[in-house]
Amino acid sequence: MKLAGKVAIVTGAGRGIGRASAIAFAKEGARVIVADIDRSESEATVSAIEEAKGEALFVEVDVAKESDVRFMVQAAVDRWGRVDILFNNAGILLVKPIDEMTESEWDRIMAVNVKATFLGIKHVVPHMRRNGGGAILNTGSIGSLTGQLGTPAYSASKGAIALLTKSLALDLGRDRIRVNCICPGITDTSMLREHLGHGLEGEARIRARLSRVPLGTILSPEDVARAALYLVSDDSAGVTGILHVVDGGLLAAAEFDQPLEG
């Protein structure tokens, strides 16, 4: 088992990529803090882990609040005595033109996506130092590397996470704390479905997007979770400061438009 004896915190583990990752980490032997603002979704994640004979604890948290983040980290230490892995996965998306965006909408995106990443790292680092190291995985997006239409605040937040990752990889390397960033492409989660719409119209928008993806398929949360597992396990022991893109090839081309068959 790749994570035997390890304690992992996964934020936004109630659904989507976070849930798939929490389950993947637990199946590899990690004890997992399922940290999320949504209790009922998270209880389903905890049940799935327990059904797979893993160990998990739900902590209700708004990752944008320092008091909640401090409590989340302490919960891991109180229950299992250590923290080895932090997956800063919770995030929110807002599709809105810049001239219609309110100050509070901008601030909320930055708080949940960027400030929360800072807060999580701030509070786990002392524990990781004491353990002699750790693995931190932040969540960017293809929007960390290139512009995206209609999502200026989201893209700015994901760009910030990319350089926070690289800077902290330098600062924390001597402590044997690795800091990496996963950058998913089009992944089939509630966030994507809420963004592109449900029903036939939503399906049509997804198909249009997938025509720009060389592999031609939507990613599953489990596809991203497998890459996350690599980045938090010793399989990536020599890797820090990278932006690990999981996008079916989307960013490989300046131009690519191949309609899906069927």
Ligand X SMILES: NC(=O)c1ccc[n+]([C@@H]2O[C@H](COP(=O)([O-])OP(=O)(O)OC[C@H]3O[C@@H](n4cnc5c(N)ncnc54)[C@H](O)[C@@H]3O)[C@@H](O)[C@H]2O)c1
By annotation, the residues acting in catalysis are 154
Around 106, how many Cα atoms within 13 Å sit in the side-chain half-sphere?
A: 9
Residues 223 and 215 sit within 8 Å (Cβ to Cβ): no
**CA-CA distances (angstroms) from residue 20 to 14, 17, 222, 246?**
9, 5, 5, 15
**CA–CA dist 26, 16 (Å, integer):** 16
Query: Could you say which residues in the range 165-194 bind ligand X, by CB under 6 A?
Result: 184, 186-187, 189-192
- Residues in CB range of 150: below 8 A, 6 or more apart: 95, 96, 97
Q: Does 223 bind ligand X (CB under 6 A)?
A: no
15 binds ligand X (CB under 6 A): yes
Q: Should residue 117 be labelled a site residue for ligand X when binding is judged by CB under 6 A?
A: no
Question: Which residue lies nearer to ligand X by CB, 99 or 185?
Answer: 185
Closest separation between CB of residue 23 and ligand X, Å?
13
Q: Which of 18, 54, 152, 248 binds ligand X (CB under 6 A)?
A: 18
E strand map for the chain? 7-11, 31-36, 55-60, 85-88, 134-139, 177-184, 243-246
Pick from 117, 139, 180, 233 the residue near ligand X by CB under 6 A.
139
Subset of residues 189 to 208 that bind ligand X, contact rule: CB under 6 A: 189-192
Structure tokens at 62: 């708004």
Site for ligand X in 43-62 (CB under 6 A): 61-62
Q: Which listed range, 8-16, 21-29, 98-106, 126-134, lies at the site for ligand X (CB under 6 A)?
A: 8-16
Structure tokens at 194: 């809420």
- We find the least distance from the C-beta atom of residue 15 to ligand X, in angstroms, to be 4
In the complex, least distance from residue 141 CB atom to ligand X, rounded to whole angstroms: 4
Place of tokens 């998913």: 184
Interface ranges with ligand X (CB under 6 A): 11-12, 14-18, 36-38, 41, 61-64, 89-93, 112, 139, 141, 184, 186-187, 189-192
